[in-house]
Amino acid sequence: YNIFCMNANTVKIAPSLLSADFGRLKEEISQIENAGADLLHLDVMDGHFVPNLTFGMPVIQAIKKYSKLPLDVHLMVTNPDFYIDHLANIGVDYISFHVETEYHINRLLNKIKEKNIKSGIVLNPATNWNQIEYVADIMDFILLMTVNPGFGGQSFILNCLEKIRIISKYKTIRKLNFEIEVDGGVTDQNASNLINAGADILVAGSYIFNSNNYAQQIRSLKLCSQNCLTD
């Protein structure tokens, strides 16, 4: 018979604000909150690490005033360390930085954790996960890019599925409990596979915000966790 996988019914949905209407940010945030989002994913881009600019500390500070959702800050910047104190003062809940941007991974993870913020490392699609094996017991979560970072609305890179499986297996063998978050091209077409592979948190930007019924889109992703089976 069917054995449901560990993440069935518990997957968290983190809408990415990048695809929202920035001219109506306050309304968009309250709509997404009422639609059943678990986290609010915030993409900070600096035009150096990625070929795009988004928003920074003042905007996140403003968002914090209008949202009760846990804030999940994804730093796509060349100097992630510069922003940790400010983000801690704002009161964000998750911070992740790219392994490709930081020499002192262990130190930065600990700096974030000391502020009682969940600390995570992001891997680009081409980055081997072995690079962070020796901090796997320190980090609270790993954010796996399933598109090349910089833009919303790109298509999911299929090879990344195998990476999720490998990390998930490692996690089980070593009895670690960091969460696995997946970001890029997530839709109801691939969500079951992602959850099955071990994803705990799904980020979705265009899939949610390019529709006119946010609640329905979030529900459709959560529903994918009910069809999720173990191998």
Return residues touching Zn ion (CB under 5 A).
43, 74, 183
43 annotated active-site: yes
**Contact of 129 with 166, CB cutoff 8 Å:** yes
- Residue with Cβ nearer ligand DX5 (185 or 198): 185
User: x/- contact string, 156-195, with ligand DX5 (CB under 6 A)?
Assistant: ---------------------------xxxx---------
Angle between helices 214-224 and 25-34 (to 10 degrees): 40
Q: Give yes or no for residue 74 binding ligand DX5 (CB under 6 A).
A: yes
Nearest approach, Cβ of residue 140 and ligand DX5 (Å): 18
Residue 46 carries which DSSP code? Answer: B
Q: Compute how many other C-beta atoms are within 10 angstroms of the C-beta atom of residue 214.
A: 20
The amino acid occupying position 5 is C
With contacts defined by CB under 6 A, how many residues of the chain interact with ligand DX5? 22
* Active-site annotation holder among 43, 46, 72, 200: 43
Alpha-carbon gap, residue 165 to 199, rounded angstroms = 9
Q: Give yes or no for residue 205 binding ligand DX5 (CB under 6 A).
A: yes
- Residue with Cβ nearer ligand DX5 (16 or 168): 16
Alpha-carbon gap, residue 144 to 163, rounded angstroms = 9
Q: Give yes or no for residue 154 binding ligand DX5 (CB under 6 A).
A: yes
The amino acid occupying position 85 is D
Alpha-carbon gap, residue 208 to 46, rounded angstroms = 24
Q: Which does 90 bind (CB under 5 to 8 A by kind): Zn ion, ligand DX5, none?
A: none
46 annotated active-site: no
Which residues form the catalytic set? 43, 183
